[in-house]
Amino acid sequence: MAYKRYIVELGFGADLHGGNVTKAAQRAVKDAISRCCLCGLFDILGIRDPNQMQVQIRLGCPYPEQVNVAEVASMVPFGSVTVEAAAGGLAVQGLHLAALGEGDTIVAAAAAVTVYVNVP
């Protein structure tokens, strides 16, 4: 048996105050997975345990070296999760409000969430 792609979903996330790329990436992953119901894994493929799937997250964001990949991976409730961050996304000047975060940078991240399942 081999792992094959079951679904690819895209998401977008931003941190409007503070320039936190991990927060933006988490929001991008949440955006992507909030539109997916993987019922076909169970109804068609006969998967019994959602932890049998592999989930690959690819991020495009500014300052990819600052992304806490463990925190991003924690957004996915099931499966074996891997996270890769690459340069991309967007960073622009916003508004500094000390109560909401450090700095005045808005960061935006894009996420591609791919689910793989083991099929004959």
Q: What is the pLDDT of residue 119?
A: 86
Please report which confidence band the pLDDT of residue 98 belongs to, taking 50, 70 and 90 as the band edges: confident
Assign domain 2-119 to a CATH class. alpha beta
The region that residue 50 occupies, defined by phi over 0 for left and psi between -120 and 50 for alpha, beta otherwise, is alpha
In tens, the pLDDT along 4-36 reads 999 999 999 999 998 999 999 999 999 999 999
SS3 114: strand
Locate the domains of the chain by residue range: 2-119
Say if residue 58's pLDDT is above 80: yes
Q: What is the pLDDT of residue 99?
A: 87
Among 58-62, 98-102, 105-109, the least confident range: 98-102
Say if residue 1's pLDDT is above 80: no
Say if residue 57's pLDDT is above 80: yes
Mean pLDDT of 98-104: 85
% residues pLDDT > 70 (the chain): 100
Mean pLDDT of 27-47: 95
